[in-house]
Amino acid sequence: MKTSFLALALLCASLALPVRAQSYTPTEENLKSRQEFRDARFGIFLHWGLYAMLATGEWTMTNHNLNYKEYAKLAGGFYPSKFNAAEWVAAIKASGAKYICFTSRHHEGFSMFDTKYSDYNVVDATPFKRDVLKELADECHKQGIRLHLYYSHIDWYREDCPWGRTGRGTGRPNPKGDWASYYRFMNNQLTELLTNYGPIGAIWFDGWWDQDQNPGFDWQLPGQYELIHKLQPACLVGNNHHQVPFEGEDIQIFERDLPGENKSGLSGQDISSLPLETCETMNGMWGYKITDQNYKSTKTLIHYLVKAAGKDANLLMNIGPQPDGCLPEVALERLKEIGEWMKTYGETIYGTRGGCVAPHPWGVTTQKGDRLFVHILDLQDKALFLPLEDRKVKRAMDFASRQAVKFKRVDGGVVLQFAEAPTEVDKVVELQLD
């Protein structure tokens, strides 16, 4: 039954027919994978493609209306001689991150993996001729870190991809494209990605919004999601569409905002009960940008991670690898320093959920059962009121030193008392609740 459905799904995908979506019930494997994802709390995003060579971010092709045939010539010079997947994965693992999300194909349309369905890929179109995704996937599996794959619904290179609101100046001839052909292409590639690279933790779609001025447009997502779940039931589906999750999705993604915030203007959507993830850049750009050395401090990045955890969300923090195949030096430094912090404080992040005290300007709480971790990020005073209402506190201690912290029951909660106002990057007080 399972096999025949898979055969049908594959046949439909190859004919670009939608597989009729029944209402979605996640499998056991999928639910387990959601839980593991949620417990992981911290991942690293890698935006790597031909755009790294232009060194002005991943949107250069459309921002400068670069002709698609000219742009494609970049591939002939793509030779990241220092690329070493083992080093990437080791550095990322040492940061405490539990998963990597890699751009298998971004809006520029270049496949960073070996694909039968287009020659415009890292093996066939470059002198490098190495399947960088395969090398990365093998290392992830070897070093025990989960691999997620970003996959763009937009393609500024292919002539069969219908035009959306971006990539209109790249010289592709046919605005209407050929949807059936493009849908078949995407599903064929997704089938390769989920067949040739071992277990994939998630497919991270992006670009749905490109057709948001074209309300009649149907991305045929249910059939695509079903194909993914049939090929690898534990593979989570996420879509950076900036909407509440659609049927068939397993996680909810926020971009450059913590859930419930909408500072970047992309995240006004309601928060669902699915596992949450927000992504953010280490400097200001996703793809490598040579002029952007404006990296956030380690403290700021740790605060972002902690605040995400306090909102019950994962943080997917981005690095744009260089055209030579190295991760930028500053990014490596940040990974190392976050890793040092995580060695001590990881227990207050991994496997936790947003705590019973809601986020406040001073910080957030995370929780594991009756252990409440109070993350004090910004407090000018020597005392802190926690609105715990009737919850009884048995003990309070400084998480790192295990020294007792004084506390007093007051109306509506407890007050923690310190000798001095906290100055740590994150002062974590552990409360044992009754």
Report the interface residues with ligand GLC, using CB under 6 A: 47, 58-59, 206, 240, 255, 279, 286
Residue 24 DSSP code: P
Decide whether 239 or 365 has the Cβ nearer to ligand GLC.
239
Decide whether 105 or 230 has the Cβ nearer to ligand GLC.
105
Looking at residue 282, its amino acid is M
Cα dihedral 241→243→249→255 (10° resolution)? 60
Decide whether 103 or 187 has the Cβ nearer to ligand GLC.
103
Residue in this structure with the two tokens 């007093």, named with its chain if needed? 408
Decide whether 205 or 399 has the Cβ nearer to ligand GLC.
205
Closest approach of ligand GLC to the CB of residue 101, in Å:
9
Decide whether 37 or 51 has the Cβ nearer to ligand GLC.
51
Closest approach of ligand GLC to the CB of residue 212, in Å:
12
Closest approach of ligand GLC to the CB of residue 379, in Å:
32
Closest approach of ligand GLC to the CB of residue 279, in Å:
5
Cβ 403 vs Cβ 378: under 8 Å = no
Closest approach of ligand GLC to the CB of residue 103, in Å:
7
320's tokens: 């744009």
Closest approach of ligand GLC to the CB of residue 26, in Å:
24
Decide whether 182 or 286 has the Cβ nearer to ligand GLC.
286
Closest approach of ligand GLC to the CB of residue 311, in Å:
17
Exposure string (b/e) for 115-144, b if CB count within 10 Å is 16 or more? Answer: beebebbbbebbebebbbbbbbbbbbeeee
Residue 431 β-bridge partners: 372, 396
Cβ 8 vs Cβ 17: under 8 Å = no
Distance CA 81, CA 98 (A): 27
Decide whether 166 or 432 has the Cβ nearer to ligand GLC.
166
Distance CA 242, CA 209 (A): 8
Q: Count Cα atoms within 13 angstroms, Cβ side, for 300.
A: 9
Cα dihedral 149→152→157→158 (10° resolution)? 100
Closest approach of ligand GLC to the CB of residue 154, in Å:
8
Decide whether 106 or 146 has the Cβ nearer to ligand GLC.
106
DSSP-based three-state secondary structure for 352: coil
Length of the chain counted residue by residue = 434
Exposure string (b/e) for 37-50, b if CB count within 10 Å is 16 or more? Answer: bbebbbbbbbbbbb
